[in-house]
Amino acid sequence: MAISDVGLPGEVPWKKMSAEELESQYCPSQWGVRLRAEEALRTYSQIGIEATRRARATRKSLLHVPYGDGEGEKLDIYFPDEAAEALPFFLFFHGGYWQSGSKDESAFMVDPLTAQGVAVVIVAYDIAPKGTLDQMVDQVTRSVAFVQKRYPSNEGIYLCGHSAGAHLAAMMLLANWTKHGVTPNLKGFFLMSGVFDLEPIMYTSQNIALQLTLEDAQRNSPQLKVAQVQPVDPTCRVLVVVGQFDSPEFHRQSWEFYQVLSAQTLCQGEWKASFEQLHDVDHFEIVENLTQKDNVLTQIILKTIFQ
């Protein structure tokens, strides 16, 4: 499906699909062109594990820092070699359809970002079935508030998520920070191959663990909610990214979320949104390649932080 084919008024393509087709659309490993599904997943895990091992061995870090009282409410902080009073902080929320993945295998971008003076925070949250989606959103919200409170002189907090993690990051656009007693210094969002309207997920096998109702899905769909809020900081940038070899439904999700962000013309400001389709990468390579300092997206992230 070409970008020009999605986001048309009244069109909801997924509702016209068979159960089998919808399942396939939301199974990212089936859409890679280089590796078969199982090998793609195995490679993704191996790259994440190795990147995390290397980061923990070579970078200054604080590991398993509690941001709340729950057993799963921990984060890892990796620092640049050069000490500085104020640093930009890059928070990453891993993917895995809210039911797999771990901070302990997700430090993909630590080396190239810390080498350029960015502190990187990899956040854990309670995945399903232990955690509900509402709980995950609350945990991620509290992790962001925690970083702001612990490092109040930061030079900007940048949120990044991949797949399900992109959804959780996008939910921070809707957060009510008042009840957390702090307004984070949010300067940028990097949303990689995300799901922003959760209703289609209800009709796939992913919902066996999630147990989403329609009310749950709608309450936690930034696609449906973001038009009702205004940016806390009008200079905050939102980059919506999708891989060339992501499925048509993932393309549609990203493009339509970008369109909603771009359409806002609120009296007190609008989202500074942009959209990128990354050439020649699939759903997993989009984050795997963040281990590389010369990667296109790595460079976009650094340019956004240090503009």
Angle (deg, nearest 10), helices 164-171 and 133-150: 60
Residue 249: strand, helix, or coil: helix
CB atoms within 10 A of CB 29: 17
CA pair distance 125, 139, nearest whole angstrom: 6
Return the closest-CA partner of residue 193 out of 107, 124, 257, 237. 257
CA pair distance 298, 264, nearest whole angstrom: 28
Quick check: 194 and 257 in contact, CB under 8 A?
A: yes
Contacts of 130 (CB under 8 A, 6+ apart): 72
pTM of the model: 0.94
Could you list the active site residues? 163, 246, 283
DSSP 154-182: -S-EEEEEETHHHHHHHHGGG--GGGGT-
pLDDT tens for each residue of the chain, 307 residues long: 333 344 444 568 999 999 999 999 999 999 988 888 999 999 999 999 999 999 999 999 999 999 999 999 999 999 999 877 799 999 999 999 999 999 999 999 999 999 999 999 999 999 999 999 999 999 999 999 999 999 999 999 999 999 999 999 999 999 999 999 999 999 999 999 999 999 999 999 999 999 999 999 999 999 999 988 888 788 899 999 999 999 999 999 999 999 999 886 544 457 899 999 999 999 999 999 999 999 999 999 999 999 8
Quick check: 121 and 147 in contact, CB under 8 A?
A: yes
User: What secondary structure letter does DSSP report for 96?
Assistant: S
Return the closest-CA partner of residue 131 out of 158, 170, 80, 97. 97
Per CATH, the homologous superfamily of domain 28-306 is: Alpha/Beta hydrolase fold, catalytic domain (3.40.50.1820)
For the chain, the structural domain boundaries read 28-306
